[in-house]
Structure 1
């Protein structure tokens, strides 16, 4: 494990990706920053965070053994790793809001951004960016955001959280390497926010519809049971789950 600590950076994912192009990096190379000026989330969203109060880091994992069509399993094991780590710190009611936001008490505490490095049409490595709201107590214009401190009343040591997440990630990636795809997928689906509950969705055109989250496909599409008793698959660009 190699840990690179930075005071401020545009994005830990961008920094680590650039570094991986310049030199050969060992598995579990980590870049952690006190503050990100251009933290990124899924679909180009911006990750807002107060300096030194939250955990913002990226970790490089060697996944050259993983078939490209199994890429979403990286998201699954990352989400499961974070939940397992947070359970160790007694954070309650943890769920995964598809595809990989982490909720506690139905409030978002963590976002994940995964960027795969593909060489010659093969997965080579993956850069996993994690933004965890830890000790921040104010979230202006973010009514669904919270932090570990707000939820638990405790102040946390950022490095302790990071090392526990990386330890869990190593274990889950090893399970993935051992071919435990069904176990991983089952564990992920079991933790899906609003699974088997009547939920409201919005499609790409802005239309609302109702359905029940049932599962995910191997490629990460959300499988939703609609009113006409048909299960339909949606990818991230086609659908969003409303609270």
Structure 2
């Protein structure tokens, strides 16, 4: 058997393994989704609680399309199913990728995958339990006199998903900081020198991705800053000991 035939055979083996792991991951999500279908309406009610609890007495949500009351809870069940099955999906991805990595790459990649997943969950939980009550309270109290707040359930779901993504990705800050250091793009002194710019940027991000009230903006900006500090702390422990590069030269705002 020549070298070319061996390469083709190995490629086919990898494709078969990839197909197997994709099927397993999709099947896991599907099984969890089917198990959650009887609770789809309850899941949407739970998801909508932060808004419903801030509406005036007698307030309610509406559906502007005929099929919306059926499909929106199904979407929520699908989203929850994916989040619950995500550890297994990531395990399948890791099982496919890990054999091609060196030992030192495995030691770096696995903790990053686990920590990034947990941080994304924490970011979503923070949005639901800490940010949504303030944000929806703000919206409910700013309606003009004579205007009744009745949000479409599909639009509410889109808003919630975008907020979950924003906070989930924001909570990945420590992972991003550690990766920048491990890849040699930045070093710890440079990250410390950029601290004041990060604080300003955190409040800018908070103003973009949250409702236009100071409390909601601060609820995103402060965790972003603290997570950046956590990233610096972790990076200082995992960075090579010989790394003592010069701090990042940033412009002096006073000049």
TM-score bracket, shorter-length normalisation = under 0.3
Between 1 and 2, higher relative CO (CA 8 Å, sep ≥ 6) is seen in 2
Q: TM-score, normalised by structure 1?
A: 0.26
Q: Which has the higher helix share?
A: 2
Specify the structure having the higher radius of gyration (Cα): 2
Q: TM-score, normalised by structure 2?
A: 0.25
